[in-house]
Amino acid sequence: MHFQWYPGHMTKAKRMMQENMKLIDLVIELVDARAPLASRNPDIDELSRNKARLILLNKADLAEERRNEEWKDYFENQGFFCVKVNSKKGGGLKSIQNVIQEACKEKILRDRKRGILNRPVRAMVVGIPNVGKSTFINSLAGKAAAKTGNKPGVTKGKQWIRLNKQVELLDTPGILWPKFEDQSVGLKLAFIGSIKDEILNVEELGAEFIRFICRDYPGALADKYEIEEAEDPYICLSRVAESRHCLVKGNEWDTEKAAGILMDDFRSGRMGRLTLEYPEQV
Ligand code: G4P
């Protein structure tokens, strides 16, 4: 499978982020809890040098809980602050305020020594597409975010969302395109929907997903679609098609449609909580 990239996009986004970095104290990096490494952009480490760092394992509700814990330990051992969150439902968001203060302790102390009191910490949310940046900003900021959005014409300069007396958030997240050489990383990104389906062959993607799930979660496919799992992923796919009554003209199983259903079921959590990569594989 081959993926296409848009380096033009990437360069512009990176440049913008570099500019914004000068204004902030803390980088809040969102990763997808189902694939926390594949969904990181390696440039972020370099761009965020000298900044406090907080990694959010977002969509934690879609990933296996014990794996979420393992990833949290993994990132904390690397010196990051890390919180598991469900931005959609607001899970984990409460504890973030305290973690932000903890992550920025040095800056706050430095300010205090210089006699600067009560200067809020300024933060920026970054991450690859579809990882949940907008959902997170909206959930965390709530009404404050809506207010900023309702003021057309006042978009000159940077817009800050005041979360409380201690924290301000840049209202536009930093978007970085995912980056990889390893095709297995690309596949994980395609599974979670961070690479658009239009540039991929859905049937092939579905078959690759079946390969993965039958290996790491044997029985999950059988349970969900009430089918027998087979070694050949394409046979599995036609069984999914049969189970979901996907037919094309001539009474053939519509495996393309079945692949779409399969990926949709996985992405929205209807197959249960699944994690695509584990720290012990690193
Ligand atoms: P982005 O700004 O980083 O591109 O991502 P965005 O917030 O648009 O979120 C992408 C999708 O991920 C959205 O789904 C959003 O609802 C979902 N999402 C974000 N955070 C979480 C989370 O913690 N848990 C779960 N389960 N889903 C999350 P969508 O299908 O595109 O939109 P919608 O139908 O949910 O509105």
**Same-domain check for residues 47 and 156:** yes
| DSSP SS3 for 164 | coil
CA of 100 relative to ligand 1 center, distance in Å: 23
Task: Supply the residue whose CA is at minimum distance from atom 12 of ligand 1.
Answer: 132
Residue 232 DSSP one-character state: S
**Same-domain check for residues 146 and 232:** no
- Full-model pTM: 0.91
Within a domain: residue 189? no
R_g of the chain computed on alpha carbons: 21
pLDDT score recorded for residue 270: 96
**Same-domain check for residues 35 and 166:** yes
**Same-domain check for residues 207 and 99:** no
Task: Supply the residue whose CA is at minimum distance from atom 13 of ligand 1.
Answer: 132
**Same-domain check for residues 92 and 165:** yes
Please tell me the distance from the alpha carbon of residue 47 to that of residue 27, in angstroms, as a whole number: 10
Task: Supply the residue whose CA is at minimum distance from atom 19 of ligand 1.
Answer: 132
Please check whether residue 60 is in contact with residue 36, taking contact to mean a CB–CB distance below 8 angstroms: no
Task: Supply the residue whose CA is at minimum distance from atom 35 of ligand 1.
Answer: 88
Task: Supply the residue whose CA is at minimum distance from atom 29 of ligand 1.
Answer: 130
Within a domain: residue 27? yes
Q: What is the CATH number of the domain that holds 28?
A: 3.40.50.300
- Per-residue pLDDT 10s for the chain (282 aa) are 555 555 566 777 788 889 999 999 999 999 999 999 999 988 899 899 889 999 999 999 999 999 999 999 999 999 999 999 999 999 999 899 999 999 999 999 999 999 998 899 999 999 998 999 999 999 988 865 544 444 444 445 678 999 888 999 998 888 887 777 788 898 999 999 988 766 679 999 999 999 999 999 999 999 999 999 999 999 999 999 999 999 987 889 999 999 999 999 999 999 999 999 999 988
Question: What residue ranges line ligand 1, CB within 6 angstroms?
Answer: 58-59, 61-62, 86-88, 127, 129-135, 269
Distances in whole angstroms, Cα of residue 26 to Cα of each of 29, 82, 106, 113, 226: 9, 13, 11, 19, 48
Please tell me the distance from the alpha carbon of residue 104 to that of residue 123, in angstroms, as a whole number: 10
Burial class for 116, CB neighbours closer than 10 Å (0-12, 13-18, 19+): exposed
**Same-domain check for residues 111 and 12:** yes
Residue 49 DSSP one-character state: T
Nearest atom in ligand 1 to 87's CA: 23
Q: How many domains does the chain have?
A: 2
- Considering only the C-alpha atoms of the chain, give the largest distance between any 2 of them, rounded to a whole number of Å: 79
pLDDT score recorded for residue 146: 46
Please check whether residue 41 is in contact with residue 177, taking contact to mean a CB–CB distance below 8 angstroms: yes
Distances in whole angstroms, Cα of residue 203 to Cα of each of 189, 193, 217, 254: 16, 14, 20, 10
pLDDT score recorded for residue 248: 87
Best mutation site among 88, 93, 189, 266 for ligand 1, i.e. most ligand atoms within 8 A of its Cβ? Answer: 88
Within a domain: residue 60? yes
- What residues does 274 pair with on adjacent strands? none
pLDDT score recorded for residue 29: 97
Q: What is the CATH number of the domain that holds 227?
A: 1.10.1580.10
pLDDT score recorded for residue 104: 95
pLDDT score recorded for residue 43: 86
**Same-domain check for residues 121 and 250:** no
**Same-domain check for residues 41 and 149:** yes
**Same-domain check for residues 160 and 88:** yes
CA of 118 relative to ligand 1 center, distance in Å: 34
pLDDT score recorded for residue 25: 96
- CA-wise closest residue to 257 among 188, 197, 194: 197
* Residue 229: both structure tokens together: 């799992």
| 233 phi, psi to nearest 5 deg | -60, -30
Which contacts qualify for 210-213: CB closer than 8 Å, 24 or more apart? Answer: 210/236, 210/237, 210/262, 212/187, 212/276, 213/266, 213/271, 213/274
What is the extent of the structural domain holding 153?
Answer: 8-171
* Residue 246: both structure tokens together: 């996907």
Within a domain: residue 93? yes
Sign of the Cα pseudo-torsion (89, 94, 95, 99, in order): positive
